[in-house]
Each structure stands twice: as structure tokens, then as C-alpha cells.
Structure 1
Amino acid sequence: MKINFFKYQGAGNDFILIDHTMSPLENIDNSLIEQLCHRRFGVGADGLMFVTKHKDYDFEMHYFNADGNLGSMCGNGGRCIVAFAKHLGLIEKETNFLAVDGPHYARISENGEWVDLQMIDVNIINKDNEAYILNTGSPHYVALQSDLKNFDVFTEGKNIRYNNIYSEKGINVNFVEDKGDYLFVRTYERGVEDETYACGTGVTAVAMAMAKHKNQTGHIKTDIKVLGGDIKIEFDYDGNVFTNVFLCGPAKLVFEGEVE
């Protein structure tokens, strides 16, 4: 059987997307997903998503990590799936869809290549020594790091992800360098088990952690640079709860094709 797929990327975070609106999602072959995401023996991607119908929302998002396992919320994946839904004719300028962490609202540009995705509210930030720990749909570790350009993100990120505290459930590890006008972020992602060019829930967590670190409150806009490009984060923070959180950035179709 041939499977029609679409390849999208959001700031270098790339995904395989499959339209599954005409039939229920069942009997998922996790090994096939892992194979399709493999960068040498498959299409190559940080994750794979299915779009399905939902009676109460425009569509439902099902996200699988590159290792083939069902994943938690993926922010850049969420933006890409909104662009894909527009491509499929499911939505036009805005949408309300369902993901694993609950409902999400998003708005999309006319050309379908820029998406502002509303993320969940966050009211808990913990500390692990000097690092910040929070969940923005996926669990994140945020640590400040100087000379991040030359830092060994893979080795240090893997060490934290697999240490005695986090190894069982896993955690995404973000390193951030404050450049003044923007934040430079690099991320080691669980499920991919490598550094990725961008992580949407990760940069959202970083922006929140830095707001808390700097004792900032009010309406906050943060420019972030990742290996794959530029992302913007916007939210309201009263010192206790982050609300009206938006992850804003590109979501572009790379190509489409068929696999057996």
C-alpha cells in the first residue's frame, strides 16, 4: 500500500504529515514511523503527525516522535499541522484544534507560511540547582549557558536527559544565551535523542524561564534565534501565571511524495 505524505518544516524542525481524515486512526505501526523518520533509510524528520477529524474541533493532531513512540505536545509541529490543515482546506485564517495537551487556537497568514499558535497556560516553575524546570505541553529543563555557539549540546543535553532524576520519563534540555536583543537557544530533544534545529515548546519554556529569571512581568515579547531560524514568543505574566501564550514562526511545505 502506498502512503501519501507531506514534509513540512518550522524553523528547521521538520515533520512528516499524513492526512487521515477519511478513516479512523488505529493499528499504528510504530516501527514504520521510526523508519520513515530515519534520515538515512526513510524520508527523514524530527517527528510524524496524523491529521484526523474531530466532532468538536476543526481537526485533531496526533504526534509521534522520531523513535516511533507517541509524543507529548510539539509546538513547531502544531504550527506545521495548522499550515497543513490550511493546505487541505480544513481551515482558512484561524482554527481551534485538539492536541494531546488539550485544545489550541491558532491563526495563519494569507500565504499559509506563518502561524501564531496559542500554547497552554503555565503556573508552575521549579528549580534544579540553577536550572528552571517547567512544562509547556512537554517537560523542559532550561539552563543559562555562555558561548553557546561552541557548547557541546549533544553530550551535555544527553547527560541531563538520562541522569538519575529525568531518565525514566525523559526531559527536553534547553540551553540559552542572553544576547540582549534576543535569546539564542539550542535544544536536546527526548524522542529524537539528539539536538534539533528548533523546539517550539522548548523556546516557549525558555522565554518563560528568562522572564522569571529577570523578574519581568506584564505583556512580554521575546525574539529567539535557533539553529533553524527566528521564532517569537509572546505572553502575559503577572508573577505567578503565564497566560495568552503564543508561539509564532514559519511553517513551510518542503515537498510531498509517496512511500510503500
Structure 2
Amino acid sequence: MRIEFTKMHGLGNDFVVLDARLRPLPAMDAAFAAAVADRHTGIGCDQLILLEPSDAADFRMRIFNADGSEVEACGNATRAVGLLHGRAARIETLGGLLTSTPSETGISVEMGKPRFDWNAIPLGYAMDTHAMPVAWEELVNPIAVNVGNPHVIFFVSDPYAIDMARIGPMIETDQIFPERVNVNVAAITARDAMILRVWERGAGLTRACGTGACASAIGAMKRGLVDRRVTVSLPGGPLVIEWREDDEIVMSGPATEAFRGSFDPADFGIIA
């Protein structure tokens, strides 16, 4: 069978979207996702997104990183599927229910409420998540927050001076993070602006990470470094993050459809 797909991206964080809401697709597993995501022998993407029917929302979104691992949330992907859906939607994810709404800046997404408890991140043992008493070389005392998936944020003077390709996987796979972790390095440039780079769990160094922007903005707000609405500049472009008084995180930014096509799973060595 041939499977139709839509290639999309949010600020360069790219996705292959498969829509199984009306037409069932082969069972998804890590090998299938990794084969499609491979940039040399597959279609190529940071994440494979599978849309399915949902009893709890307008539809369900499953997210598979390029290494095939299934993860709880992805802010850029939520904006992308919100664009694909074409109207406001409630979206079921492993990280909880999200809401996407078309806006003047593209798509706005209600990302839920942040969690700071050590066992909600989760960490391997109890500690202060506001200033974790840990360090990896020059990166010290991060703040940890779960915004649907786990993040640690380090505040530095220059995110581009950090060798993220080397130190990112070291932190991601440290035994202190039993479910691995997304690694963020951020610099504050004004009360309403910051710069961010992200090593994404299971995907690597990325041009943009929506949950990373949310987590880093919330971390900066929690430490009193920025106001409750901030523009986060990533290598792929800016996202606007607001932490509302009701504790809800709202992310706003663009999403783009690149092209559509179809593939036979056998072309990628997949037995469907």
C-alpha cells in the first residue's frame, strides 16, 4: 500500500505527518518511524507525526523522534497539525490535552501547565528543581521543568559558545534523568527577550523546539529574569511564550506546509 504524507515545519523543526483519522495505517513502531525519518534513505524529518481518532479530543497526535522513540509533546508539531487541521482544535497527546487556534502570528497553542516537582520531571531522586545542585563542565545549576516532556535549562552568557553537539547527548543520557531529557541553553537579552539553543531528546541539535522555548521561558520567569510574556529567538526564528495568570502556557508562532507526497513502506525496508 502507498501511504500519503505531508511534510511540514515550524521554524525549521521539520515533520512528516501521517493522517490515520479516516484511513487506518500500518501499526507504528520505532523501526517504522526511524526509517521514514532517515534523511539519507527515508523522507527525512526531526519527528514523525501520526494523527489518529480520539474519544477525548478532536484527534490524537502521536510523536516519534528521529531515533524512533515515542515522546509526549512537541510544540512546533502541535502548531503544524493545527495549521493542517485548519481551525481550532483540541488535541490529545501523551503529555495531555492541548488546544491550537489560528492567530495573527500563525498558530497559538495552549500547552498546559508547567510542573516542577522532581518526580514529575522526572529525576532519578529528590532535589531542588529550581537550581539543581549538578554541573556538566561549564553548565551548572539548571532549572528543570516538565511542559509535557522533560527539560533542563541552563542560563549562559552566549548559547552559541556552548558545544551542544558534544555536551548535549552527555546530559540527555545522564542517569539522573531516567526518561532522558531535553537540554536548553539560554541567554536573557531583555525583560521580554531571550536567545535559545536546544539539544532535543532523541533528535539532536534542532533549529527550533516549541516545548524547549516554553520550558526555557517558564524557567526564566520562575527565576524572575523576564516578564510573563517573552520572545524566544531560536536558530530557526522567534516564538512568543506567555505564562498566563491561570498557570496556562501559550505559545504563538508560524507553521509551514512544505510539500505532499506518498511512499511505499517497502521502499524504506519496512514490512507493513
TM bracket, shorter-chain basis: 0.7 to 0.9
Report the Cα distance in structure 1 between the residues aligned to 2:29 and 2:174, rounded to whole angstroms.
Answer: 30
Note the alpha carbon deviations across 1:188-225, whole angstroms, 9 max, x for none: 01111x111111111101011101112667xx111010
State the partner residue of 1:89: none
Report the Cα distance in structure 2 between the residues aligned to 1:177 and 1:108, rounded to whole angstroms.
Answer: 29
* Paired residues for 1:1-260 under 5 Å: 1-24=1-24, 27-86=27-86, 92=87, 94-109=88-103, 114-124=106-116, 126=129, 127-129=131-133, 130-166=141-177, 168-180=178-190, 181-192=192-203, 194-214=204-224, 220-236=228-244, 243-260=247-264
TM-superposed CA distance for 1:17, in Å, is: 0.2
Structure 2: which 5+ residue stretches go unaligned? 118-128, 134-140, 265-272
How many residues were matched structurally? 244
SS at match of 1:243: coil
Report the Cα distance in structure 1 between the residues aligned to 2:243 and 2:176, rounded to whole angstroms.
Answer: 30
Quickly say closer, same or farther: Cα 1:25–1:98, change in 2 above 3 A: farther
SS at match of 1:146: coil
SS at match of 1:68: coil
CA contact (8 A) 1:73 1:201 kept: yes
Report the Cα distance in structure 1 between the residues aligned to 2:145 and 2:68, rounded to whole angstroms.
Answer: 25
CA contact (8 A) 2:115 2:146 kept: no
CA contact (8 A) 2:50 2:62 kept: yes
TM-score (norm 2): 0.84
Report the Cα distance in structure 2 between the residues aligned to 1:18 and 1:83, rounded to whole angstroms.
Answer: 14
TM-score (norm 1): 0.87
CA contact (8 A) 1:25 1:52 kept: no
CA contact (8 A) 2:244 2:250 kept: no
Note the alpha carbon deviations across 1:1-60, whole angstroms, 9 max, x for none: 211100110011110001101245662242121011111111111111111122342111
What RMSD over aligned residues (CA atoms) do the two structures have, in Å? 1.9
SS at match of 1:97: strand
Report the Cα distance in structure 2 between the residues aligned to 1:134 and 1:190, rounded to whole angstroms.
Answer: 14
Report the Cα distance in structure 2 between the residues aligned to 1:25 and 1:107, rounded to whole angstroms.
Answer: 27
Structure 1: which 5+ residue stretches go unaligned? 87-91
SS at match of 1:54: coil
